[in-house]
Structure 1
Amino acid sequence: MDINDNIESPLNLKVSFNVMLKHYKALAKNDDEFVAARAKRILDMARAYPELEEGFSDVSILKEREKEIAIILEDSFSPVLTKNEIKTASVPFHNLIFNSSERFRSIIKTAGDNFELQIKNMPEDDRYIIACTIILNFCYGYNLNFKRPFYYEIPDANGILRYYKILYNADFCEIVPTEAAKKITQEDYNELLDNFENIDLWKEKFPPNSYIFRGFVISNIFDVTDDQSISNIKSNLIGEDKRKDEGFIEEFHEVFRSLLGINDLKVGFSIYNEEEETFERVYGVGMNSFLLNKSEKICCEGALCGWSHNRLLNENKYFSVSDVDKMFELSKGKAPHIASLHEQGIKSAIFAPIANDKGLMGILEIVSNKPQVLNSINANKLIDVMPFIVSAVERSKSDEENLIEAIIQKECTSIHPSVHWRFEREAKNFIKSEMNGEQAVFKKIAFENIYPLYGQIDIKGSSEARNKATQQDLTLQLSAIKKILEKASEIESLPIYDQFIYQTDNYLKGLSAHFQVDSEQQISDFFRKEIEPILKHLYTIDELKEQINAYFDSIDDKVNMLYRHRKDYDDTIALINKEMASLLDAKQVEAQQMYPHYFERFKTDGVEHNMYVGESITREDSFNLIYLYNLRLWQLQVMCEMENSYYQMQSDFPVSLDVASMILVFNQPLSISFRMDEKQFDVDGTYNARYEIVKKRVDKAYIKGTTERVTQKGKISIVYSQKQDEKEYLRYIKFLQSRHYLDTDVEIVELQDLQAVTGLKAIRVSVLYHKDENDKAFYTYDDLMKEIRA
């Protein structure tokens, strides 16, 4: 077998001892007779086998000349050091080793028959390119610093990975070009400098087998398990979202096993919450805490004994438990941390504080199922590791704080992605000013020449519906009180009971005749101040206990009132808002892809939304009115879809309510600015304020000369003031009629004047509905109600 088989390389490898034999030729002339005689003996032996000097690639010759090669290498592989040094002789970029120290052979034997020795951190393409850089050094004199540490990973007798660093001695090598070798020019060299990863370019400049390598390399190998374990711990701690990676904690176990030489070792963490004086679990895939065991959090004093509590929290020093079972007996199971370890079958452990100058942040927990393998002596190895863990925890805490802030920003403020760039720019300027020692001011965020779009899907008669629910609840509660009082009067004939019954009857009559806003508060005070004290007295009467218990069971703990019909109403409003907002948000994703714009929505008794579109928001010189028209049509279509979606799910709601939709058209561009105190955008300037006035009042506006509201169930109302807006929206309506979104009953009405706003008109048109998503028929609102009730 040839050593070049199955290897693609610019080097044709030949094992040769030519360079080493040259050293012996020089030593043969040494003044020291012993040195000279030994050199001559080696040269005489080598002369009988010219292939040792000329070079060979046949692997069988290594076996045939094993004895002679060992003699040549005897000075390099001293018998005195063979049990201590880890050393091999081999050809470069090849796993073929033809001579080695006794200690190396022992390490490989311990690794097992199935172990295959490989350089761990040298990719296949890198082997070719590194061989090329060696040629540039040897043959062309370019001093390229290509050297990087290479490693073997070899398991020991316990199956623990140990890391060995390889240092090459290339003193006994020579490289010569063949006829196939291409001359490398300065221009070639300059091109290669910027193309390390372009394997095709390197193969073009250095074709396979275009140079001959003669010689061998001596590898001096060092056990660097501790250093590499620390490096691996650092690598594991660097990077984002490690806690989401399933393999992270297992890798962490492995590097600690290598560092401490214990194969069944596990690592856990717990966080110290200073405010609550508790230890808490670290959340993440595979994360565990052996201190907390099954608990999510434990108070510090309940998790540790007095001594260990002081050691970790006050002194910030580690401690070990080398024999958990023994300590469990000595403490009689009263030391909480020992009891927790004992329950989990842990036999030895180390607890190390993760602390900085500000104090304890958490605890590193290292445990084993074997007694005494973790102890106060090997715990000292953590001294080199803890600074990196502390740094990682500090960074993690900072990242978590930033994440919390980001979530608050996202969920609780109105900074929409479309305008985020502007806030980011001002924040950078703010930081720059602070860094330069200047007065930092967060400048006003404003956008000019913006076109607004506004729409709402509003619950019709929401006030009346809530009043009715309140009236029903109060009637039920008053009736229940009246029955208790009547029974009490039968048992114990006291005039005071009759007086309370009289009051109750008056409230019931008032509720049925004319419910007023303050009725709820008056009756609530009556229950709290007068009825509750008397019920406590009546509870002493056995015949009334069951009835009074039933009454209090009907009372809601949060509002301290009967809350049945009002709860149905409130739940209905919440569900409507949730479903409508969810649908609108989903549709918004499509709209943003059409053209980026600012969007915000609000949940009230229904859902309102604002949209602002313009060049100053998008930052691009791309805005055209066609995008505004497109969004207006999109908005009208989506409002129809929301109406349909609502009535399809109406039967699922606790209370049956109607909705009415409205769109406000404002055809002049305006300016908006972010109001820091309110955390939302609002219009700028007196003229633009007219738009906000109309928005707030128009849904309550009446059609001129009537008492009919402009918004009606089953219809969409489009409010506008300019003739061109009317023409535009009539075109959209005609298009949506062709798609069966809208009916043919289009009407144009004038609105009564609002305060400081005149000349408003509205287009009203009925929505066409489907009973469900699969229904192909079209219904008006009245038809739909008949179908649903049929």
Structure 2
Amino acid sequence: MPPSPDAPHHEGRHAIAAQAEPPADMRSPAATVSALSQAEPFAPPSAAAWLNLLKRHSRLPMAILEPQTLQLQFANQCFCQTVGIAESAIVASGDSGIGLLDMLLPDEQTRVQQILQHHLLQAILAYLYPQRSLLPARLLEEPVILSCRQTQSELLCKVELRLSSECLKVQALSPDLEQPLRQCLGRQPTLEHVMAQLYETESPLWICLQQLQHHPYRVTGFLLLEGTEVTERETINTLVQLLIGRESVLQPHKFSRANELMRGLFRAADSLIMSAENEQAKLFTDLDQSKWQVHSYSVESLQTSLFLKAAERGTVLNIPDLSAVTLTPCEQSIADRGARSLLIIPLVTKSIHSGSMARRLLGLVGMASDRAYAFDNRDVHNATTLVPALTAAMRYTTQDRFTNIHSSVRWRFEEEAERRSWGLPPEPIAFTDVYPLYGISDIRGSSSERNRAIQSDLLAQFELALSIIEAVCSTKPYAFAQQFRLDLLSHVEKIKQGITVDAEVTFIRYLSENLEPNFDYFARCSPAAAAAVAAYRDACDNEQQCVYTARSIYDKTIQRINNLLRDTWTRWQENMQAITRHYCDVEATDGIDHMLYVGKSIDPGFSPFQLRSLRYEQLRAVCDCGRVAFHLKETCDTHLEVTHLVLVQDSTVDISHDEATERLFEVRGSRDTRYEIVKKRIDKAVDTQGRQRITQPGMLTIVYSTADEWNEYRQYLHYLHREGWVEDTIEQGLVEPLQGVNGLKFARVRILPPSDE
């Protein structure tokens, strides 16, 4: 079609050319070259456009500083966003009023001032000796790490900054500054001469540099500040330093910090740890809480799990979407916590076995996100970088992983865990020649009180059962139903007569096997029977699946008393640990008992004076527990009372950790067996004359064997009386022989309430 006569001639020509030009993929090479050669040449942007490009679109923080005030004259968008200042603060005149040092932490300010001093020295040396290069380039290229908080990140943003002073020129120096500089440097200084004085404190050059701020000098030009965002790199470095420390995992505050950094680094909503021993795997969650949640799984149930897959591969595994894979119960529990994606970091070592290398799994660390596809290859790379440090941290907890090992002996467990991580044979964890200090605050009559609670609950449950059968018999007078009713009445009479050891289990089982399976039938017999069944079910609708009213009150009372006693003891433990580092184990059942071990094998600085101080402090702590027990009736609404006993032994024992038992330490050797026997039986001991318990409510009882032990503790009782803890009247007697133990004696004294009562 010919062009419109109204169209300009050049537009018509271009239109014809466009119609005649073949598609680009059908052109010959020569035609392509010809077309390119006829294109208009590229016009580079103006200087202003380049400046705008650097200011708006550069990913590197950049700023220009006034050399003497260090105020920002220019800053690009990336710099402003990184340090958290508004772009509008950098006015066109360059007078922003924002100084570099104002954005730094105190230690960062010191570092920047040192680097600035080197740059200024470079300019001064160029002014004094223009033909010489007197400072190494590396000295002027030293970076400084700037820390700043960004609201969109959980991590503290880190930026590595470098200063450039090529545009800095010294125009004039004060004579009071120039003359000393020339004197200390000489007419022809060398680089070695300058560096030797620069790093020598109180050298002439060093003194001159300290005087720079007090003498006038004139400079022109500016300082260029360039940076790189290094948050991930610095976070990883900090993590490595935390993890490779000997107590990085076992110290709660260090683990909390490491966990916080890990979650921030991977932008994770949750974190978890898995360990495996033999056929049992444990999953630890709620790592940001003081008490972790522990979930146990059999290794067999994990055969198809993502965790086992990561362990077998020995590499970091990224699961982008948990909803797209088949989950084992273990992984499902993680998904139920809100996880959508998962990053699994397996920690393995290599142990030598008969000349071949075999992998040994120490554990797995997991980072979970509540978003699908939250982790990428960069996260996998960062996780891989952390594997050696995480593995080193796990080595220290190989044998007693994440258990609450007392701080006084933790170092020995860490040593042994590290040995075994290198494939060395196990060695016993033992402490020799330690003094034992044992005491107990026992709730008197707790067994009888619990039996009364059991009796009350069983009677209530059987009364509910009788209501069901009687309602059934009123409409269905079957002979069998009548006999069943008589059986229930017989059981009620037995319960009223008293509770035996197995009664709680026996009677509940009787109802669960003979009454409860028939509830559906009973409920159909009559509305009254249905109501009785509903009442029974409602009363048993709890975790125990039985009437548990009186026992619940009892349990809460015992727990309340135990907590009061434990809190009191824990408060005193802080003072006792300050005397000398010692092992302390506290157990709470019906009351609390404590076991202390102290000696040179635990604290190398241990002395006899510290032993006597600790023994006296133990008595004061037990007396304070006694004072707490005076108020049980008011605080716990109970008539239960508490007795208090301290067992004395002046000879040492050896203790060792037995991995086959639940207790952390057991005494070893036949000579120490006697002490263990006494510990287990002494709270029920009676005196030989009155055949009454040697422990009495509101009193402190001391059990001993030798005259030397009594002389020492008689002095302690005198001190306690002088402090107002106990009365001055001391009751003494002999302990009736225990099985295998004879010759024990006791002293008993009444504990006094505080003087202000």
TM-score (norm 1): 0.60
User: Which aligned pairs between 1:277-676 and structure 2 lie closer than 5 A?
Assistant: 312=320, 387=378, 390-391=381-382, 395=386, 412-413=403-404, 415-431=405-421, 434=422, 439-540=423-524, 541-620=526-605, 623-653=606-636, 655-676=638-659
1:143 to 122, 135, 142: 135
**Distance between the aligned counterparts of 1:747 and 1:193, measured in 2?**
75
Change (3 A) 1:363 1:680: closer
Residue 174 of structure 2 is aligned to residue 190 of structure 1: no
Change (3 A) 1:172 1:202: closer
Structure 2 unmatched runs, 5+: 1-43, 55-61, 75-85, 147-156, 186-191, 240-253, 275-284, 290-305, 307-317, 325-339, 347-363
User: Which aligned pairs between 1:56-95 and structure 2 lie closer than 5 A?
Assistant: 84=50, 93=68
Deviations 1:343-392 (A, max 9, x none): xxxxxxxx99979999996679899xxxxxxxxxxx9xx99xx6368516
**Distance between the aligned counterparts of 2:144 and 2:648, measured in 1?**
71
Deviations 1:450-499 (A, max 9, x none): 11100001122222222221111111222222233333333332222321
Deviations 1:81-124 (A, max 9, x none): 6764789999855679999xxxxxxx999954574586688845
User: SS of 2:457's equivalent?
Assistant: helix
Match of 2:58 in 1: none
Distance apart, 1:554 and its partner CA: 1.2
Quick check: 2:587–2:594 contact (8 Å CA) kept in 1? yes
**Distance between the aligned counterparts of 1:430 and 1:404, measured in 2?**
8
Quick check: 1:152–1:165 contact (8 Å CA) kept in 2? no
**Distance between the aligned counterparts of 1:445 and 1:152, measured in 2?**
45
Quick check: 1:313–1:360 contact (8 Å CA) kept in 2? no
Distance apart, 1:594 and its partner CA: 1.9
**Distance between the aligned counterparts of 1:404 and 1:430, measured in 2?**
8
Range that drifts further, 566-575 or 111-120: 111-120
Match of 1:130 in 2: 119
Match of 1:681 in 2: 665
**Distance between the aligned counterparts of 2:532 and 2:732, measured in 1?**
60
Aligned Cα root-mean-square deviation (Å): 5.3
Quick check: 1:449–1:671 contact (8 Å CA) kept in 2? yes
Quick check: 2:444–2:641 contact (8 Å CA) kept in 1? yes
Change (3 A) 1:273 1:176: closer
Deviations 1:143-168 (A, max 9, x none): 33421278999xxxxxxx99998754
Deviations 1:535-588 (A, max 9, x none): 432211112222321222111432222111122222222222222112211110
Quick check: 1:452–1:612 contact (8 Å CA) kept in 2? yes
Range that drifts further, 602-611 or 761-770: 761-770
**Distance between the aligned counterparts of 2:432 and 2:612, measured in 1?**
19
**Distance between the aligned counterparts of 2:432 and 2:287, measured in 1?**
48
**Distance between the aligned counterparts of 2:431 and 2:143, measured in 1?**
58
TM-score (norm 2): 0.63
**Distance between the aligned counterparts of 1:149 and 1:581, measured in 2?**
55
Change (3 A) 1:136 1:468: same
**Distance between the aligned counterparts of 1:710 and 1:528, measured in 2?**
43
Distance apart, 1:248 and its partner CA: 10
Change (3 A) 1:360 1:683: closer
Query: Structure 1: which amino acid aligns with 2:141?
Result: R
Match of 2:710 in 1: 726
**Distance between the aligned counterparts of 2:465 and 2:97, measured in 1?**
87
Query: Structure 1: which amino acid aligns with 2:649?
Result: F
Range that drifts further, 590-599 or 176-185: 176-185
**Distance between the aligned counterparts of 2:145 and 2:657, measured in 1?**
60
Range that drifts further, 140-149 or 464-473: 140-149
Change (3 A) 1:366 1:142: farther
Change (3 A) 1:396 1:570: farther
Match of 2:212 in 1: 208
Change (3 A) 1:501 1:710: same
**Distance between the aligned counterparts of 1:169 and 1:116, measured in 2?**
24
Change (3 A) 1:215 1:115: closer
**Distance between the aligned counterparts of 1:430 and 1:527, measured in 2?**
53
Quick check: 1:716–1:764 contact (8 Å CA) kept in 2? yes
**Distance between the aligned counterparts of 1:411 and 1:508, measured in 2?**
49
Match of 2:228 in 1: 228
Quick check: 1:569–1:654 contact (8 Å CA) kept in 2? no
Quick check: 2:123–2:168 contact (8 Å CA) kept in 1? no
Aligned length: 574
Query: Structure 2: which amino acid aligns with 1:143?
Result: L
Distance apart, 1:512 and its partner CA: 2.4
Change (3 A) 1:405 1:626: closer
Structure 1 unmatched runs, 5+: 1-77, 100-106, 154-160, 253-266, 285-299, 301-309, 317-350, 368-378, 778-790
User: SS of 1:617's equivalent?
Assistant: coil
Distance apart, 1:243 and its partner CA: 9.9
**Distance between the aligned counterparts of 1:695 and 1:199, measured in 2?**
70
Match of 1:169 in 2: 166
**Distance between the aligned counterparts of 2:207 and 2:380, measured in 1?**
44
Distance apart, 1:132 and its partner CA: 2.9
Range that drifts further, 355-364 or 124-133: 355-364
**Distance between the aligned counterparts of 1:554 and 1:426, measured in 2?**
52
Match of 1:31 in 2: none
Change (3 A) 1:725 1:132: same
Quick check: 2:632–2:640 contact (8 Å CA) kept in 1? no
Distance apart, 1:449 and its partner CA: 2.0
Match of 2:752 in 1: 768
Match of 1:373 in 2: none
Query: Structure 1: which amino acid aligns with 2:429?
Result: I
Quick check: 1:452–1:611 contact (8 Å CA) kept in 2? yes
Query: Structure 2: which amino acid aligns with 1:659?
Result: V
Change (3 A) 1:551 1:408: farther
1:756 to 740, 746, 749: 740
Distance apart, 1:697 and its partner CA: 1.5
**Distance between the aligned counterparts of 2:536 and 2:389, measured in 1?**
52
Match of 2:153 in 1: none
Change (3 A) 1:563 1:387: same
Change (3 A) 1:79 1:633: closer
Deviations 1:572-629 (A, max 9, x none): 2222222211221111001111222221111122111111111221123xx3222111
**Distance between the aligned counterparts of 1:543 and 1:739, measured in 2?**
68
**Distance between the aligned counterparts of 1:91 and 1:538, measured in 2?**
94
**Distance between the aligned counterparts of 2:561 and 2:729, measured in 1?**
27
Change (3 A) 1:629 1:568: same
Residue 689 of structure 2 is aligned to residue 699 of structure 1: no
Query: Structure 2: which amino acid aligns with 1:515?
Result: I
Quick check: 2:540–2:547 contact (8 Å CA) kept in 1? yes
Quick check: 1:598–1:611 contact (8 Å CA) kept in 2? yes
% identity of equivalent residues? 22
